[in-house]
Amino acid sequence: MSVSLDEFFRDRPTSRQLFDAVFEFIESLGETSFTVTKSQVAFRRAKVFAWAWIPGRYLRGKVAPLVLTLSFASRDPSPRWKEIVEPARGRYIHHLELHSVDDLDNEVKEWLRAGWEMAGRSK
């Protein structure tokens, strides 16, 4: 079920501010589409490469206002990742908590760029 960005971020201004910063950077990379569902926003080229979601909808306690999830072919060694899972052989899902716009630094932008480039390949 598709929803609008305004509906997705209703009553969550900090999450929206973080998302807007991520969105602006992803748009600067080139042609990208996105889909908003009840649970997340997915960014894609030939395939999906990043998701943004609000953990406070699913988890109790103190959580980040936004989580950025990226898919890579290998595990990234950075200690910044909250969690890395391998749901399928050779596919690693990396979860990064975003607490402020400052968290969207050059390292994160390079991860987004790498994901964007890989997602543009047909195989």
Neighbour order of strands in the sheet with 48-53: 33-36, 41-44, 48-53, 66-72, 91-98, 83-88
C-alpha to C-alpha distance for 98 and 122, rounded to whole angstroms: 30
What single letter denotes the amino acid at residue 64?
A
- Dump pLDDT digits (tens) for 10-69: 999 999 999 999 999 999 999 999 999 999 999 999 999 999 999 988 877 889 999 999
Q: Residues near 31 by Cβ (< 8 Å), separated by ≥ 6?
A: 45
Alpha-carbon distance of 123 to 121, in angstroms, equals 6
CA dist 102 and 121 (Å) reads: 30
Set out the domains of the chain in order of their start, with CATH numbers.
Answer: 5-119 (3.90.1150)
C-alpha dihedral over 87, 41, 74, 107, to 10 degrees?
A: -150
What pLDDT does 122 receive? 60
What pLDDT, on the 0 to 100 scale, is given for residue 1? 66
pTM greater than 0.75: yes
